[in-house]
Amino acid sequence: MSHTQESIHRIVEKQRDFFRSNITLDTDWRISQLKKLREAVTEHRSSLESALYEDLGKDPSEVYLCEIGPVIVEINEILRGLKRWARPERHFSGLMCFPSTRTTVYKMPYGVTLIFSPFNFPVMLTLGVLAASISGGNTAVLKTSSKSAASTRALKSMISEVFPEEYVTVVDGDHDVADMCLRERFDKIFYTGSPAVAKHVLEMASANLTSVALELGGETGNWCIIRKDADLKDAARKIAFFKLLNAGQICIDINQIAVAKEIAEPFLEELKKEFTRQIGEQPENNPEYPKLISRSAYDKCDRLASVYRERIVFGGTGDPGSLRYAPTIVYPVSIDEDIVQHELFCPLLPVVPFPDEDTESLLSIIAEREHPLSMYLFTSDIRWADRVMSTQQFGGGCINEVCLHMMVKGVPFNGTGHSGMGAYHGEWGFREFTHPQTVLTGRTRFNLPLREHPYSGRSGRAKLRILEWFEH
């Protein structure tokens, strides 16, 4: 279907009418919709796997690890907690409000939500956010990426079977269709993608003062720091796994490594061994290895590799036919070079050597740049690592591990500044898609005249003394 501004407007208005029917306010009804979504993901697993292989060359095991499994886990966590999260909170109003003693906070849905999902994880980052929106009691328009066309088709087919258009629907199309959506008055927008496009989303959302959540990759990339006391084999094994995952097309991926100069050479040897052990000597010919999303993405990666060709110590080869590009280590790289000052979103991995004694200077330089979405530290000095993690600003991260922080139940996920705003996963997703609405219940008897005129004279002074006593 080719969308027009009129067709998008009709979808939004139909969803607004559906929301105003108050059907979505019932938590039991929301739970039933989440169960339908979970069942649909399971039933459509094979078609989703096929679509993800067509778009990104993902092996079924990687699809379950990174796309299907996380969605099911997310829905299950919401199902277990939704009744508790959505329950109105009761608060004592305080002496200042006497005789009104009861105040209630209702967790109200925003209404009609617009969810932009990216190409790199088109299932997880569509359905995971949708689950959060449903948990809050909203309707949803899903604007999926035109780059992952097969996944969009699969999602559109699945969603249309499960939900009516006036509740949840998929809108496909390019940037023009995205702008058509942004011109409409939505009640909440959730965007996953790049900081540059996020600025455009915020600008257009401001016309309607629409609440926006952003999940972004980080403009200057995510750092991994390896101290000289790190377990090099363990670090290399985990980093190789992570960089191979989705061919580096991950918002929380390691964009660049800063490694202590004292152990840089042995670390690089361990990393080369791990890349070869995990994916083989010619990854571009390995059908298990994911591909880049498009020829333009492949060419961009290849051009950047060509600039640093003389410093490539591993990889640097690819197959434009299959769009697979080998994991590529660039070494040595200065911390001020262009390649470590922007998000790469590909299998290139620049490595910056630094004297271990200059770690604090390194951290200061990282802190001066835009906040990353993730940070990873490898060291045996956990006290130092804890101090760094509690003083640097970033979305989330790991000590002696990679990426698993986003799979922990009950904790928030997202960035800050150029890496995002807002948070989701589990209860945090429910909070992101609801507005806390405070209501005080007044009484018609025993009302005191403390707040009323006169404020002067003996009566006024007596009122003031009583109010001051109430406030203590």
Ordered by where they begin, the domains of the chain are 5-218+420-435 (3.40.605.10), 223-414 (3.40.309.10), 442-471 (no CATH)
Strands 318-319 and 324-325: what pairing? Answer: antiparallel
215 is annotated as an active-site residue: yes
| pLDDT per residue as tens digits for the range 47-86 | 999 999 999 999 999 999 999 999 999 999 999 999 999 9
- CB neighbours of 367 closer than 8 A, spacing ≥ 6? 392, 393
Contact 91, 183 (CB under 8 A): no
Question: Per DSSP, what are the bridge partners of residue 90?
Answer: 104
pLDDT at 470 exceeding the cut of 80: no
The count of other CB atoms within 10 Å of the CB of residue 28 is: 8
Which contiguous run of DSSP H or E holds residue 119?
none
Mean pLDDT of 99-126: 97
pLDDT at 355: 98
> How many angstroms separate the first and last alpha carbons of the chain?
64
Closest CA to 123 of 95, 92, 144, 139: 144
CA-only gyration radius of the chain, Å: 26
pLDDT over 90, % of the chain: 91
Exactly one of 181, 224, 251, 398 is catalytic; which is it?
Answer: 251
| pLDDT per residue as tens digits for the range 147-161 | 999 999 999 999 999
pLDDT at 466 exceeding the cut of 90: no
Residue 392 pLDDT level (bands cut at 50, 70, 90): very high
Contact 139, 112 (CB under 8 A): yes
- Higher-pLDDT residue of 330, 468: 330
Exactly one of 49, 74, 184, 215 is catalytic; which is it?
Answer: 215
Q: Range with the lowest mean pLDDT among 78-82, 165-169, 355-359, 414-418?
A: 414-418
251 is annotated as an active-site residue: yes
Over the chain, what is the mean pLDDT? 96
pLDDT over 70, % of the chain: 100
pLDDT at 444 exceeding the cut of 70: yes
- CB neighbours of 105 closer than 8 A, spacing ≥ 6? 88, 89, 91, 436, 437, 438, 439
pLDDT at 1: 66
